[in-house]
Amino acid sequence: MEETPLEAIPTLSPTKRKINKRFIYLVLAIIVIAIIFFAYKTFGTGNNGNTNQKPAAATPTQEITVTPTSTPVPSSSPTVSPSTTPDPVDKATGLDRSKLSVTVENGSGEAGVAGKGSDFLKGLGYGVTGTDNADNFNYTNVTIQVKSGKSDFLALLKKDLGFSYTIDSATSDLPDSFSSDALVIIGK
């Protein structure tokens, strides 16, 4: 018998299945989109995913007022809730703030300054009779004037306003013809 060269014998090796790269990219894209969606729902809504949650109540803000002639004074916008009424009687002096009528004037030229000062004084219990613009807008800090008959309120008004404003002058020389017992001019 003749010898024949060995024929190539096919080897049985496991066949590799070709993975489609487009399929892998599609799966990865879906996973990334799902992660982004859940991260947005959890962290991006501002209320931890709870859409039925009520907004947080407003809290007073604090500002720092700096003037060249004084040290920084914390300034805040007090918020008086409608359910509480302020006690207008000063515990130290026994003076009833509601017995002093006050007019607040804007001496800075910035909109809303007199209204903000008026709200502050009302929050303490003062009887604010009105707001207006001052005779000019060149005032710096706060000027307080009271009628001589109400001069006992001068120190209390100065103390109360001193928590949020820098007082420039405080006198008890308001003319008796003025419509209210006190005049507060809020400057720059």
Per residue in 116-146, pLDDT (tens digit) is: 999 999 999 999 999 999 999 999 999 999 9
Greater confidence (86 vs 48) lies with 86
Are 33 and 84 within one domain? no
Answer whether residue 14 is part of any domain.
no
98 DSSP 8-state letter? G
Domain span at residue 73?
A: 62-186
Average predicted confidence (pLDDT) for the chain: 79
Answer whether residue 121 is part of any domain.
yes
Residue 171 near residue 147 (C-beta atoms within 8 A): no
- Angstrom distances, CA of residue 119 to CA of 2, 10, 46, 102, 157: 119, 97, 31, 12, 14
| pLDDT number for residue 134 | 93
Are 38 and 105 within one domain? no
Q: What pTM was estimated for this model as a whole?
A: 0.54
Greater confidence (105 vs 4) lies with 105
Greater confidence (75 vs 91) lies with 91
Answer whether residue 93 is part of any domain.
yes
Are 124 and 32 within one domain? no
- Closest C-alpha among 168, 163, 160 to residue 186: 168
Greater confidence (77 vs 150) lies with 150
Greater confidence (131 vs 1) lies with 131
Are 41 and 100 within one domain? no
| pLDDT number for residue 49 | 44
| pLDDT number for residue 87 | 79
Are 100 and 36 within one domain? no
Are 148 and 71 within one domain? yes
